């Protein structure tokens, strides 16, 4: 008998190890912007510890902490100068130990970010490489090459940086080094044994401190085709490309050799108990993504196809089918992701016409066209129920439970994303999805901390605050709380089947509950079934456009 009440508590995972992660809800904490205990305007580990009750009360199973390691902050922490420490702006190693202890006490797992593709140019290895001659062992940990042309003044290949401009920077003695991202983020050479050994040590360091796993940054970029002469890519601008085109033999994206690294890592991960996990950030094709989650490699990979899916029933159906079959082929389940710290927040994406280039829209000032926020609001709520109903694990980005929109009108001088300067101030970058969270309607930085906030919070931000939404039945926060609580009842039964649906509707059964979502422009009658939760009010037993509903399977 499925109870038709909403009284199931959320919180700690009931699912036992070793596969706790298969259907976990993981909450992404973007450390600089979650909570600031020391008042310097930048989020820190103590701030997170102080707010863990919010996460436990929300009903998530794990948190993923974005980088908090010592860093000059060219890329807000994704430029690491010491992989075994905590940046003073985020706290201390003791703060990390305390956070893990407290999280574990609340039944929450803690996943940390590992950034293996590149380090900071302030990392001691890079300083040593610069001080050492061409051809030295210290340079071999990076990708240094002679330039082209009679005086070597042309880069060794035409590779482009993902942040704009070229992927090569020249050093005073004339050699060039490679960086997929900013010049302050030199790529490591994953054919070098020091690099391999050091990262194995780094994984063990955090596992020994109690981390429950790793999110692997740029997992598809580590291995490069370094056979001489280096191959050009045809000058394509990789700022707009996450991945090679299907079937392409690209010199640095998604090379087969990268999997050797994850097979070695998996052995380390599996030597720890209770079970730890890894999740790949790999912008590769749907056909190639499952390769990263083969049984002896990483556990999960972010599903960016779901994130990028247009608001269209057929498109969602294709993404869901492909994701499920791809993951099942390697014995796992997909992840489902709507937002993260690198993309325009989904409430805002859904408020814009289909097919728009969000980054171009943002760079044009976010007004052409003007977002239809009421539409984005409805769709984001419906998308949450869709996402949380699918078999697999869901990754939530901090603030989506508050329905935060993208802040698209930050003043130019507030922008911190390196993309802004590297593109000659033409691409506004990712700051608008990274605005510090509002916890309280009023007070300094809306409860983010006792000081200011490193990115300005816009007027009206307090209306999204946790305290402003708590107890308001129609709020985003209460929708997420209820959804996560109901979801725990259906976790573990991974069976999935499409149900007959009308044009523009998605309907499926997962275990003993059903989800329907109306992506058409007309209301659709609701079938029988005890309603567990709806993303908006159901009037006259109709499912309005841009609305989703969960029902319990009756009888049987």
* Residues near ligand GLC, by CB under 6 A: 75, 78, 115, 181, 217-218, 281, 341-342
For residue 141, the minimal CB distance to ligand GLC (Å) is: 18
Task: Provide, rounded to whole angstroms, the least separation between the CB of residue 304 and ligand GLC.
Answer: 11
Query: CA-to-CA distance for 474 and 535, rounded, in angstroms?
Result: 9
CB of 220 to ligand GLC, least distance (A): 10
Residue nearer to ligand GLC on the CB measure, 258 or 524: 258
What minimum distance in Å lies between the beta carbon of 162 and ligand GLC?
8
- Residue with Cβ nearer ligand GLC (78 or 461): 78
Q: In whole angstroms, what separates CA 18 from the centre of its chain?
A: 23
d(CA 300, CA 259): 14
The tally of CA atoms less than 13 A away on the side-chain side of residue 377 is 9
**Residue 110 or 280 having the CB closest to ligand GLC:** 280
Closest to ligand GLC by CB, 128 or 342: 342
| Beta carbon nearer to ligand GLC, 269 or 282 | 282
How far is C-alpha 452 from the chain's CA centre?
Answer: 26
Q: How far apart are CA 381 and CA 378, in angstroms?
A: 5
Half-sphere CA count of 509, side-chain side, radius 13 A: 10
Cβ of residue 341: shortest distance to ligand GLC, in angstroms? 6
Residue with tokens 């050093």: 171
Q: What residues have CB less than 8 Å from 384, skipping those under 6 apart?
A: 338, 400, 479, 480, 483, 535, 548
Per-residue DSSP letter, 239? G
Closest CB 463 distance from ligand GLC, rounded Å: 28
Distance CA 31, CA 398 (A): 10
Please, what is the minimum distance in Å from the beta carbon of residue 63 to ligand GLC? Answer: 16
Structure tokens at 342: 């690198």
Residue with tokens 């390769």: 291
Q: Find tokens 């020249």 and name the residue.
A: 170
Residue 23 or 254: the one with the smaller Cβ distance to ligand GLC is 254
Structure token digits, residue 4: 């038709």
The DSSP secondary-structure symbol of 230 reads P
Please say which residue, 184 or 546, places its beta carbon nearer to ligand GLC: 184
């Amino acid at each position: 008998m499925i109870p038709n009440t909403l009284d199931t508590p959320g919180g700690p995972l009931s699912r036992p190890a070793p596969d706790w992660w298969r259907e976990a809800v993981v909450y992404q904490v973007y450390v600089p912007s979650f909570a600031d205990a020391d008042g310097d305007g930048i989020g820190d580990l103590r701030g997170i510890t102080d707010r863990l009750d919010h996460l436990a009360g929300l009903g998530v199973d794990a948190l993923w902490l974005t980088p908090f390691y010592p860093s000059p902050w060219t890329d807000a922490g994704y430029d690491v100068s010491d992989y075994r420490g905590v940046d003073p702006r985020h706290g201390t190693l003791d703060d990390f130990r305390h956070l893990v202890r407290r999280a574990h006490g609340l039944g929450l797992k803690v996943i940390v970010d590992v950034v293996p593709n590149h380090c900071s140019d302030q990392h001691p290895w890079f300083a040593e490489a610069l001080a050492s001659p061409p051809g030295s062992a210290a340079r071999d940990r990076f990708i240094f090459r002679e330039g082209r042309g009679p005086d070597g003044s042309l880069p060794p290949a035409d590779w482009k940086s993902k942040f704009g401009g070229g992927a090569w920077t020249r050093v005073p003695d004339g050699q060039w080094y490679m960086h997929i991202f900013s010049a302050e983020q030199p790529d490591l050479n994953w054919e070098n044994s020091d690099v391999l050994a050091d990262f194995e040590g780094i994984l063990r360091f955090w596992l020994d401190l109690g981390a429950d796993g790793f999110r692997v940054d740029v997992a598809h970029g580590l291995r490069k085709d370094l056979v001489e002469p280096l191959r050009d890519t045809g000058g394509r601008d990789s700022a707009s490309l996450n991945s090679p085109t299907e079937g392409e033999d690209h010199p640095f994206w998604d090379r087969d050799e990268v999997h050797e690294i994850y097979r070695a890592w998996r052995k380390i991960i599996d030597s720890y108990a209770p079970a730890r996990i890894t999740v790949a950030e790999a912008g590769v094709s749907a056909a190639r993504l499952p390769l990263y989650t083969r049984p002896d490699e990483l556990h999960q990979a972010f599903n960016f196809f779901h994130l990028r899916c247009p608001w269209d029933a057929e498109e969602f159906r294709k993404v869901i089918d492909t994701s499920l079959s791809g993951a099942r082929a390697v014995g796992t389940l997909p992840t489902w992701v709507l937002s993260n710290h690198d993309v325009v927040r989904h409430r805002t994406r859904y408020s814009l016409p289909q097919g728009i280039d969000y980054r171009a829209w943002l760079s044009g000032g976010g007004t052409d066209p003007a977002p239809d926020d009421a539409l984005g609001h409805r769709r984001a709520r419906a998308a949450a129920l869709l996402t949380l109903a699918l078999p697999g694990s869901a990754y939530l980005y901090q603030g989506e439970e508050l329905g935060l929109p993208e802040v698209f009108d930050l003043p130019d001088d507030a922008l911190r994303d390196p993309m802004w300067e590297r593109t000659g101030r033409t691409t506004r970058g990712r700051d608008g999805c990274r605005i510090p969270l509002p916890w309280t309607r009023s007070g300094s930085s809306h409860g983010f901390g006792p000081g200011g906030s490193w990115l300005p919070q816009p007027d009206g931000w307090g209306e999204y605050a946790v305290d402003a939404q708590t107890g308001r039945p129609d709020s985003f926060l209460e929708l997420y709380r209820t959804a996560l609580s109901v979801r725990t009842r259906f976790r573990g039964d991974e069976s999935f089947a499409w149900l007959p649906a009308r044009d523009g509707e998605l309907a499926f059964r997962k275990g003993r509950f059903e989800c329907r979502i109306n992506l058409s422009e007309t209301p659709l009658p609701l079938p029988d079934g005890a309603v567990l939760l709806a993303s908006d009010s159901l009037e006259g037993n109709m499912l309005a456009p841009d609305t989703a509903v969960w029902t319990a399977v009756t009888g049987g």
